[in-house]
């Protein structure tokens, strides 16, 4: 089945709690812990089909990252429906979920298992990730001993090591020192080319115009414009 994304009348609401809500006194008195609700996405409607390269643009707090998290399964709609068909690769918070007491090798297996249980023991794939990271000499060491640059190299190598139909990016990634940065730029271009659908959020309209066939503009959780080839949808 061809990859696609279909969001229909989607609202995402996040409850906000105060520190007082978690106090012992509040629990004894059985006070309500929910203070208010933050309506982070409002009545979102669009479809994305295979072959599209979609940019999400807006100011800080516009809802760009929230929309990416919805598409990648991090958020679920309170209202409406979100239908996603195709294998997903999300590069939002790529270092999230790493176990700092475990080795680099164990973390590769852990993250691959979260993507697909069958990948956890794919020796060829694991070797290719290790080789790309350039961390062969320390791959069996606990990652708490890694520098921040080494951690980013490991996380990036895992996140970009598996092909997917749908690629979700929060800004364009380029990590590591000069030599690895060049490798990561080439890897990014390769996976963008191979993915059926690209959804990327950015503050740079120039980048989105360069990469994308379509740009969605957001403001305070709303879609204000949906432009395809300089023509409003």
pLDDT digits (tens, 9 = 90+) for 34-77: 567 889 999 999 999 999 999 999 999 999 999 999 999 889 99
DSSP 3-57: -EEEEEEEEEEEEEE-GGGGSHHHHHHT---EEEEEEEEEEEEEEEETT-EEEEE
Is residue 168 classed as helix, strand or coil in its secondary structure? strand
pLDDT above 70 coverage of the chain, percent: 89
Same topology, domains 4-86+199-232 and 91-195? Answer is: yes
- Which among 110, 114, 68 is positioned nearest to 91, based on CA atoms? 68
**37, β-bridge pairs:** 15
What phi, psi does 72 have (nearest 5°)? -90, 0
Give the separation between CA 156 and CA 69, rounded to whole angstroms. 18
Condensed to tens digits (0 to 9), the pLDDT of residues 176-223 reads 777 788 888 898 889 989 999 999 999 899 999 999 999 999 999 999
CATH number for 4-86+199-232 (one of 3.40.50.300, 3.30.160.620, 3.40.50.1220, 1.20.1260.10): it is 3.40.50.300
Q: What angle do CA 203, 209, 212 make, to 5 degrees?
A: 100
- Which among 208, 198, 190 is positioned nearest to 128, based on CA atoms? 190
| Tokens linked to 36 | 């208010």
Residue 233 has pLDDT above 50, yes or no: no
Query: What pLDDT, on a 0 to 100 scale, did the predictor assign at position 185?
Result: 87
What distances in angstroms separate CA 72 from CA 41, 66, 68, one per listed residue? 15, 10, 6
Residue 120 has pLDDT above 90, yes or no: no
Give the pLDDT band of residue 226 (cuts 50, 70, 90). very high
Task: DSSP letter for 161, please.
Answer: S
Fold of 91-195: Rossmann fold (3.40.50)
Sequence spans of domains, the chain:
4-86+199-232, 91-195
Average pLDDT, the chain: 88
Per DSSP bridges, beta strands 197-202 and 166-170 are: parallel
pLDDT above 90 coverage of the chain, percent: 58
């Amino acid at each position: 089945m061809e990859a696609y994304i279909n969001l229909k009348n989607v609202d995402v609401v996040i409850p906000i709690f105060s520190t007082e809500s978690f106090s012992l006194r509040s629990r004894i008195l059985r006070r309500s812990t929910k203070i208010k609700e933050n309506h982070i996405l409002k009545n979102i409607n669009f479809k994305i089909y295979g072959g599209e390269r979609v940019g999400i643009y807006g100011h800080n707090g516009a809802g760009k990252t929230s929309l990416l998290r919805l598409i990648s399964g991090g958020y679920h709609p309170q209202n409406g429906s979100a239908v996603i068909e195709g294998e997903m690769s999300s590069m939002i918070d790529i270092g999230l979920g790493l176990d700092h007491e475990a080795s680099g090798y164990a973390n590769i297996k852990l993250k691959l298992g979260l993507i697909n249980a069958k990948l956890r023991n794919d020796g060829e794939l694991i070797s290719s990730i290790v080789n790309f990271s350039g961390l062969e000499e320390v791959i069996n060491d606990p990652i708490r001993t890694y520098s921040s640059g080494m951690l980013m190299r490991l996380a990036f190598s895992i996140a970009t090591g598996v092909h997917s139909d749908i690629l979700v990016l929060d800004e364009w990634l380029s990590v590591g020192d000069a030599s690895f940065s060049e490798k990561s730029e080439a890897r990014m271009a390769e996976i963008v080319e191979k993915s059926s659908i690209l959804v990327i959020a950015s503050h740079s309209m120039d980048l989105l115009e360069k990469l994308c066939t379509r740009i969605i503009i957001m403001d305070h959780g709303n879609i204000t414009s949906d432009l395809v080839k300089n023509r409003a949808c």
